[in-house]
Structure 1
Amino acid sequence: MLTKLITRREALHVLGATGGLLALGGAGLATRELLNRPRFNHIPAKLHGANLKIGHLLREAIKAVPQDTRDIGTLIVGGGIAGLSAAWFLQKNGVTDFEVLELDREVGGNSASGKNEVSAYPWAAHYVPLPSPEAREVRALFEELGIITGYRDGLPVYNEYYLCADPHERLFDRGVWSESLVPNVGLTPDERAKLREFFTFTDSLKNKRGRDGRVIFNIPLEHSSVDPDWRRLDRVSFQDFLKERGWDVAPLQWYVDYCCRDDYGFRAEFVSAWAGLHYFASRSGEAANADAQTVLTWPEGNGWIAQKLRDKLEKHLRVNRLAYRIQNEGDFVLVDVIKADSGEVMRYRAKDVIYAGPRFTANHIVKDLPRLPSPEHAPWVVANVTVERVPVTEGAPLSWDNVSTYSPSLGYIVANHQDLTILRTAKVLTYYRPMDERDAKTEREEAQKRTLEEWREMVLADLERMHPGLHREVRAIDIWVWGHGMPSPGIDYVWNTEREKRFAPFGRVHFAHADQSGISVFEEAQFRGVEAARRVLKKRPPDRPA
């Protein structure tokens, strides 16, 4: 969902010698509501998702012979952030002979978004941390889009409207909402000490350098140290790493599992220790007008960026297009495509192809492509719940990010949190839940069986536990089920011996999806798209007008 950025100062303040707060007796507040849990059948609900028409058309297309062939310089397959970034970089460097194919009705991929009468809202990725100095192309893009408005004393100045407004986050634990997502209510002295140790350690890793002089945990990942003493942590689980150091007390275990599920879709047990530490130590972005832990966000989440890129690239975008067969042939790549809106089948003959879809899909589409291990992808459910208001609760006020220790979800963000009239308006709550209680394949199979009514019940019952009486305020619920959410950096994936092969071109097909890195965040997706575009540019000069 999102990367939580917590500074040492914040963590140590939360875990300070005040002894912690005591539960304020709110735990029984909802007993009557929960015993008589309301039904939600009267609440309008709608299921959204990928273009379901494609499956039927594809079965017919595979039998067909393309009647029309189009020659093109570069064809980009996939209109997520990686594909859009590749296109942006080609255009920026004078290339005009390219197209982007997108399966869905809109480009954006995991940065998809929607809108209703109350607010725009995200369907997945919804923020970007302040980019590090190494994320040069992210900063360049942000300058173009007006996100970075200038520099002061060498630090970027960010548009104030895009910096997440206060209050940022709160946690529901032991019957009380409190500031920060780190558990801080009713902790034992030992639990408090272990939390302090952990945050002091991870804080010490920020900008720490390996024996090669490079930052150990950097983003993009390619800029990270190759020091074997640190890379070996990719071969053990984050949970085992924590246990070895005695950092397995319940509040810390919950928080670390939350963070891993948040960015990777799985608990610490299934995430490598290197990736787990990267989550906490890799963010080094700074700003002249914001704290380092501030994030950039919009009502539509990262869909705002996707829409700006769409506007820049509009004449090159082809939506409702599925590439179902790709093969190298001599000095060209043949790409067979079905148009979902018409059922028409056509062929591109490209000098280069940038494949910006997940690697596991390339295994089925790119002819003779050597099979390489793919990262696991957990299914997710994302729901946008439109409410008249959120019932007032004990403790910290409604924040941008709202999480409960009692929930199997990651909580919800308030999509229109940035709205200057937020206190006077209805709200859209964007709810996130990775389905990770069992293995991903089983969870996907179960997700396919669930009805819209069952999804509605699951989401609203969970929110009702956080906010008794909320069901009376709900106008509508919109739901999107992602069969394959973001990739998970499992044990021995990020830095395994197959890494270089994952990024190597196959003939004239170049790969650009963030899942090959194992960590799916905006900066990594943009980096992979730009790197693929660089490889294409090295092979041929920019297009010149006749």
Structure 2
Amino acid sequence: MQRRAFIGSALGAGAFALSGCDASRTIAGGFTGIDVARGHALRDGVQRGATPSSVQRTRVLIAGGGVAGLAAARALRARGVDDFVLLELEDTAGGNSRGGAVEGIACPLGAHYLPVPGDDAHEVQDLLEELGLRRRVAGRWEYDERHLCHSPQERLFFQGEWHDGLLPVQGVGAETLAQYRRFAQRVDELQHAARFAIPSLRAPSTSASRALDAMSFGQWLDAEGLGDAHLRWYLEYCCRDDYGAGVAQVSAWAGIHYFASRHGFHAPGDDSADRDAVLTWPEGNGWLTQRLAAPLGERLRTGQVVTRIAEMRDGVEVDVFDTATKALVRWQAERCIVALPVFIAARVVENPPELLRRAAAALHYAPWLVANLHLDAPLADRPGAAPSWDNVVYGTRGLGYVDARHQTLDPTPRATVLTWYRPLGPSAFDGTDGRRQLLDQPWSAWRDALLAELSVPHPDIAERATRIDITRYGHAMAIPTPGLRAQLGHEATVVAGRLVFAHADWSGYSIFEEAFTRGHLAGSL
């Protein structure tokens, strides 16, 4: 708790002094990856109502080049439909699954891994087979080990040293261990009572799942008598990691889904404790989205601000502001796959259908910050577990960091990039003003917060850092709040006339499998 209070006080410009870091070295950097002004152009009314400078035609138009939009494009191509155009706001496609580079070292700008998918996510399995990531050997599927996360995978800085795994185990009391076992038992029971699946559109609606959806995860934990501080910290971390908000904000369905839809929850000493394998790359899930975008060629149009989508008698019209030419272009198509976040879709769709208005009113979003920190040499380390791919500091506001060089087969110590994640949705750490904070805080304040947090396990981090590039997502992901699943429904595809809606928002939370499956299904209609 003392360290948590210390980190919290270090957000301001005095972080170096508080953390004991050497501030004499100049660290370059700034905000990158997302053009905030471009994203706000629609809100500010850019070119709305203006006369288009030209009219262009295509058979199918995809609005939005995140994972769902890219999956829809792939599905169209698989059906032999090549007459389509995909419109993307940023300069590269991929949404919050894009990759970048700092000083020539590849790193993620957002999502950084993909768990090996289960059989419910067969569309994702097919993609991985197509990309050569898995193949059938002697009747069994095998994944290319070069792309599976190398060991050691996770470690936690807790009570002054590094420990294997992210669940606090060493140095905790018997009551804490008993609560771990109790939570594991309840997760196992609920796995059978309410079938969980990824993608969630393939999970049936049961009385158990509806009851979990109706309350917050925090309320459920209280009712179960699960109040241990270490367990609650871990569950808060898990919810902030997947949903951008804490146990008081996400539904009990979401909190249990985090475990029950994949590997369960295993208490210390459980011989079956075996985490699912995950696929990861130095550039994170950008490795996947780059390969989805590559075959599109000129059909992918970047720097496009969609300002209006209207269903007409014989098709759809889509007005787009081209940020390069500063011109408004009108596209006409037979139909439109709206692969936009729901809150944006509700603004641009003319006379939005009731299902869209209802979803937009129900959804809340978590802002995120992703910082890529270039180091000119390896960091000094505290005692304990060896450096891992995922490295988390107990009790801090951030979610820790991943190391871009962890997947390399070259063991030579050299420069690397650490990617640090900080969700700003409501939680035990942050209030509800995260989006304002994200926009108002200067780059230097986030630099200081990062260095203060990571200087606890790495006291030489300010000496090794040369550059910090920060990517801001004002609406990074939908938060699965209580009652959201009931409000959104369980339709595999959301269709209104000539408009097909495809985005992870329609699942109520944001992961690759949800977005990809919904995009694939929309493109397959």
Tell me if both proteins adopt one fold, taking TM over 0.5 as the criterion: yes
Q: Deviations over 1:226-265 (max 9, x none)?
A: 2223322100111111121111111100000000000000
Please point out which of 205, 222, 230 is paired with 2:201: 222
CA contact (8 A) 1:33 1:469 kept: no
Please point out which of 370, 374, 380 is paired with 1:382: 370
Match of 1:468 in 2: 459
Query: Compared with structure 1, are the counterparts of its residues 164 and 203 closer, same or farther at alpha carbon in structure 2 (3 Å cutoff)?
Result: farther
Query: Compared with structure 1, are the counterparts of its residues 56 and 249 closer, same or farther at alpha carbon in structure 2 (3 Å cutoff)?
Result: closer
Q: Deviations over 1:172-201 (max 9, x none)?
A: 111111000000122111111111221243
Query: Compared with structure 1, are the counterparts of its residues 264 and 60 closer, same or farther at alpha carbon in structure 2 (3 Å cutoff)?
Result: closer
In structure 1, give the amino acid aligned to 2:343.
F
Matches within 5 A, 1:407-486: 407-436=396-425, 442-486=433-477
Query: 1:284: how far off?
Result: 6.3
What SS does structure 2 have at the residue aligned with 1:485? Answer: strand
In structure 2, give the amino acid aligned to 1:260.
C
Please point out which of 232, 242, 247 is paired with 1:263: 242
Query: Compared with structure 1, are the counterparts of its residues 437 and 513 closer, same or farther at alpha carbon in structure 2 (3 Å cutoff)?
Result: closer
1:97 aligns with 2:83: yes
Q: For 1:149 and 1:505, locate their aligned partners in 2 and report how far apart those are by CA, in whole Å.
A: 35
Q: For 1:403 and 1:444, locate their aligned partners in 2 and report how far apart those are by CA, in whole Å.
A: 24
Query: Compared with structure 1, are the counterparts of its residues 364 and 82 closer, same or farther at alpha carbon in structure 2 (3 Å cutoff)?
Result: same
Q: For 1:466 and 1:445, locate their aligned partners in 2 and report how far apart those are by CA, in whole Å.
A: 30
Q: For 1:104 and 1:117, locate their aligned partners in 2 and report how far apart those are by CA, in whole Å.
A: 22
1:132 aligns with 2:118: yes
Please point out which of 143, 149, 157 is paired with 1:164: 149
Q: Deviations over 1:21-49 (max 9, x none)?
A: xxxxxxxxxxx985644437711112113
Matches within 5 A, 1:75-474: 75-153=61-139, 155-203=140-188, 205-206=190-191, 208=192, 216-283=195-262, 293-369=276-352, 370=354, 371-372=357-358, 373-387=361-375, 388-436=377-425, 442-474=433-465
RMSD: 2.2
TM-score (norm 1): 0.86
What SS does structure 1 have at the residue aligned with 2:50? Answer: coil
Match of 1:47 in 2: 31
In structure 2, give the amino acid aligned to 1:418.
Q
Q: For 1:309 and 1:534, locate their aligned partners in 2 and report how far apart those are by CA, in whole Å.
A: 16
Match of 2:7 in 1: none
CA contact (8 A) 1:382 1:431 kept: yes
In structure 1, give the amino acid aligned to 2:453.
D
Q: For 1:185 and 1:292, locate their aligned partners in 2 and report how far apart those are by CA, in whole Å.
A: 19
Sequence identity percentage: 39
What SS does structure 1 have at the residue aligned with 2:162? Answer: strand
Query: 1:67: how far off?
Result: 2.7
Q: Deviations over 1:239-295 (max 9, x none)?
A: 11112111111110000000000000011111111111110010269xxxxx76110
Q: For 2:296 and 2:161, locate their aligned partners in 1 and report how far apart those are by CA, in whole Å.
A: 48
**Structure 2, unaligned runs of 5 or more:** 1-15, 265-273
What SS does structure 1 have at the residue aligned with 2:187? Answer: helix
CA contact (8 A) 1:271 1:488 kept: yes
TM-score (norm 2): 0.89
In structure 2, give the amino acid aligned to 1:499.
G
Query: 1:140: how far off?
Result: 0.8
Matches within 5 A, 1:498-509: 498-499=488-489, 504-509=494-499
**Structure 1, unaligned runs of 5 or more:** 1-31, 211-215, 286-290, 536-546
What SS does structure 2 have at the residue aligned with 1:268? Answer: coil
